[in-house]
A and B are shown apart, each in its own frame.
Chain A
Amino acid sequence: QSVLTQSPSVSGAPGQRVTISCTGSSSNIGAGYDVHWYQQLPGTAPKLLIYGNNNRPSGVPDRFSGSKSGTSASLAITGLQAEDEADYYCQSYDSSLSLVFGGGTKLTVL
């Protein structure tokens, strides 16, 4: 069981908007620790998508955005494209002295 909870899967048609949620607790997200998001395309290493809750690294399209509220965070993808089909992971820090990941969400583009 991951410390951060994500829905196992989400899907959407090309051009649609989807959101991926990440639920934590008072010892991680709710304690004020930042949330970061990664995209893992099939057969490749994870890639940083969003850092510090809502910041995009250079080169990441503005179709990707992040937000955080209370003990949860969300990743939104607008204008869904076939190339967005991947696994998405949230990550934060937990006061149990661990860096922690969510269990991952598989995005399927219909």
Chain B
Amino acid sequence: EVQLVQSGAEVKKPGESLKISCKGSGYSFTTYYIAWVRQMPGKGLEWMGIIYPGDSDTRYSPSLQGQVTISADKSISTAYLQWSNLKASDTAMYYCARHEYSRGTWGWFDPWGQGTLVTVSS
């Protein structure tokens, strides 16, 4: 079974750093993109960025470029999303999802991780 398992909920203070994880299993981790998607409280889904663990090729949403860093360690089939200076506005649920690049173009997300809730509050 293809599965993505994310790290647990985090409570942080503004200005702190954070790295959350997403571990893939049941498939070849290096041959599929992994994306990160943000869902702020009561809001919709927002694509943040994507990484290809095979060669670490990484793309970011133009609106979020520079605010987060996406990385991956293919030796342990794990992708990461990190912040160096958290803000209260980073409070959200963060999902990782495997991306299907189909017919030479960007495709769909399946499956999704269970989500990691990040709360930033003083």
Contacts and interface: CB of A to CB of B under 8 A. Distances in A.
Do these two chains interact?
Answer: yes
A46 interface: yes
Nearest to B59: A97
Contacts of B115: 45
B112 A46 contact: yes
Contacts of A51: 100, 107-108, 110
B109 A103 contact: no
Contacts of A103: 44
A34 interface: yes
From DSSP, what is the main secondary structure of chain A's interface residues? strand
A52 B47 contact: no
Tell which of B44, B46, B100, B114 has the most Cβ of chain A within 10 Å: B44
Contact of A101 (B46, B102, B106): B46
A40 B115 CA distance: 12
B118 to A, nearest CB: 15
A104 B107 contact: no
Interface string A76-110: 00000000000101010100111111111000000
Contact of B62 (A33, A89, A97): A97
B53 interface: no
Contacts of B106: 33, 93, 99
A104 B45 contact: yes
Interface string B23-66: 00000000000010100000011110010000000010110000
Nearest to B64: A98
Interface residues of B, number: 26
Contacts of B37: 46, 101
Contacts of A52: 102, 107-108
A45 B99 CA distance: 15
Given A45-B115, A48-B109, A52-B102, A89 B44 contact: yes
A91 B100 CA distance: 13
A46 B93 CA distance: 12
A63 interface: no
A44 to B, nearest CB: 8
Given A36-B107, A57-B110, A99-B47, A46 B59 contact: no
